[in-house]
């Protein structure tokens, strides 16, 4: 759950699993996948390639009506060589399976895009390398943050219409903005007629706060270069760390040449209600760094622009659409999760 993320220091190794028979990645097998893979499977493949690693719980929340159906389908995708998996060892309990892209899945994705696998930027050893990365917990935490948003959008209140319109991974952000900033993610959230776009800095409590505050100059430089004011959301693990971070952030923010070009809001995982059906960062947990004279209150994600009247709502220029989904001017939308099946037919292996 987003209210109780796994810390990096709790990941110590890998739990051995029983070997599972798997299909060889041959041309015949790839041809067979054309019949076996559903649109939902292909969406999962693309999401895992974009975000490097997703846990079984995250994939289920993103695309399946139940954990059981998601677990069964993920097992089939693993057996077909479409996905690979590993299970980190944790000191308490059992970690969920973590899924990364496998060679057959990369071949399918490359064929869809009209590319060779090498042009896709995929390497099997690099994909599996996340299992040993010291940033594994951070990457999973960021993905859990956005998964919670999508799960919230899939289970809205009766009078609420919400969507996650965009979710860019760290690597995609680096390709577009890496000369100035390297955010953990970029997102665009719509709810109740309001839309807000944002950069996310996901703090796990292990980074020196001075390094976090030093990033504000980069965000100010990006705003000056593009003429676009994009809010920065800082997610922290505890209320105590948030209080310290806000003091340092406010000092660094005041020292900017144009502070209004970098609206900042902070929130902490401790403010989420763990007993709520679908707690998420969309809840009223955000406190703007500067309220422009308004009463400092916690706001929902879609309400943040009300605290920054100088920030216009995001607009996508139709003239930029020909640049494709990788254009920084076009908000690359995250594919909508497949809806649950409305009927149950005989099992054919296609879920």
In this structure, are residues 10 and 90 in contact, taking their beta carbons and an 8 Å threshold?
Answer: yes
Domain limits for position 59? 8-134
Q: Is residue 149 part of a domain?
A: no
What pLDDT is recorded for position 12? Answer: 58
Q: How many domains does the chain have?
A: 2
pTM: 0.83
In a domain, 16, yes or no: yes
Whether the predicted pLDDT of 202 surpasses 90: yes
Are residues 121 and 161 part of one domain? no
Looking at residues 142-154, what average pLDDT do you find? Answer: 92
At 292, the pLDDT band (50, 70, 90 cuts) reads low
pLDDT at position 338: 38
83-86/185-191 β-pairing: unpaired
**165 and 255 assigned to the same domain:** yes
Let me know whether 178 and 248 are in one domain.
Answer: yes
Section 18-26 average pLDDT: 69
CA–CA distance from 319 to each of 201, 315, 316, 322 (Å)? 30, 12, 9, 7
- Alpha-carbon distances of 169 from 53, 126, 187, 189, rounded to whole Å: 11, 17, 9, 15
Residue after which a domain boundary falls, among 134, 169, 194: 134
57 and 123 share a domain?
yes
* pLDDT at 110 (0 to 100): 92
Length of the chain measured in residues: 351
Residues 129 and 162 reside in one and the same domain: no
Q: Do the domain assignments include residue 182?
A: yes
Same-domain check for residues 177 and 46: no
d(CA 107, CA 220): 40
Q: Shortest CA distance to 211 belongs to which of 173, 188, 182? A: 182
Q: Are 203 and 234 in contact (CB under 8 A)?
A: yes
User: Among 292, 293, 219, which residue's Cα sits nearest to residue 249?
Assistant: 219
Query: What value does the mean pLDDT take over residues 155-160?
Result: 72
Element counts in the chain: helices (H) and strands (E)? 11, 11
For residue 118, give the CATH number of its domain: 1.10.10.10
Mean pLDDT of 175-198: 92
Say if 335 falls within a structural domain.
Answer: no
**DSSP secondary structure of 121-135:** T--HHHHHHGGG-TT
| Strand 162-168 versus strand 185-191 pairing type | antiparallel
Cα 303 to Cα 173: distance, rounded to the nearest angstrom: 24
* pLDDT of residue 133 exceeding 50: yes
- Among 35-39, 151-155, 261-265, which range has the highest average pLDDT? 261-265
Q: Are residues 74 and 170 in the same domain?
A: no
One domain for residues 84 and 162:
no
Give yes or no for a contact between 100 and 127, defined as CB atoms under 8 angstroms apart.
Answer: yes
Contact predicate 170/184, CB 8 Å: yes
Q: Do 66 and 179 belong to one domain?
A: no
Helix orientation angle between 27-36 and 103-112, rounded to the nearest 10 degrees: 70
Question: Residue 331 falls within a domain, yes or no?
Answer: no
Model confidence at 136: pLDDT above 60: yes
C-alpha distance from residue 248 to each of 21, 208, 212, 262, 277 (Å)? 54, 11, 9, 15, 34
In a shared domain, residues 206 and 75: no
**241 lies in a domain?**
yes
Q: What is the pLDDT of residue 349?
A: 38
Mean pLDDT of 289-295: 71
Q: Are residues 114 and 192 in the same domain?
A: no
Residue 313 has pLDDT above 50, yes or no: yes
**In this structure, are 89 and 30 located in the same domain?**
yes
């Amino acid at each position: 759950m987003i209210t109780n993320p796994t810390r990096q220091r709790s990941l110590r190794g890998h739990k051995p699993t029983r070997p599972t028979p798997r299909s060889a990645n041959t041309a015949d097998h790839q041809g067979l996948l054309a019949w076996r893979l559903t649109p939902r499977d292909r969406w999962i493949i693309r999401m895992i390639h974009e975000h490097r690693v997703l846990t079984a719980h995250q994939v289920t929340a993103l695309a399946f009506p139940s954990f059981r159906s998601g677990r069964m389908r993920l097992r089939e995708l693993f057996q077909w060589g479409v996905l690979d998996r590993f299970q980190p060892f944790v000191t308490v309990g059992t970690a969920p399976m973590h899924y990364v892209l496998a060679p057959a899945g990369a071949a399918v994705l490359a064929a869809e895009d009209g590319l060779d696998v090498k042009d896709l930027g995929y390497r099997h050893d690099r994909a599996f390398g996340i299992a040993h990365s010291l940033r594994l917990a951070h990457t999973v935490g960021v993905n859990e943050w956005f998964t919670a948003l999508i799960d919230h959008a899939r289970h809205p209140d009766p009078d609420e219409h919400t969507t996650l319109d965009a979710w860019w991974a760290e690597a995609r952000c680096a390709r577009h903005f890496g000369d100035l900033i390297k955010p953990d993610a970029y997102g665009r959230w719509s709810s109740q007629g309001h839309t807000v776009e944002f950069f996310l800095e996901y703090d796990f409590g292990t980074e020196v706060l001075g390094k976090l505050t030093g990033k504000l100059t980069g965000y100010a430089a990006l705003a000056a270069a593009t003429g676009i004011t994009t809010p920065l959301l800082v997610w922290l693990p505890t209320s105590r760390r948030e209080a310290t971070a806000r003091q340092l952030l406010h000092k660094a923010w005041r020292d900017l040449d144009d502070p209004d070009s970098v609206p900042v809001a902070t929130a902490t995982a401790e403010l989420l209600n763990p007993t709520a059906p679908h707690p998420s960062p969309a809840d009223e947990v955000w406190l703007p760094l500067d309220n422009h004279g308004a009463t400092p209150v916690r706001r929902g994600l879609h309400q943040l622009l009300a605290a920054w009247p100088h920030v216009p709502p995001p607009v996508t220029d139709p003239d930029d659409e020909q640049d494709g989904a990788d254009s920084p001017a076009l908000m690359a939308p995250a594919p909508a999760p497949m809806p649950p099946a409305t009927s149950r037919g005989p099992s054919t292996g296609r879920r």
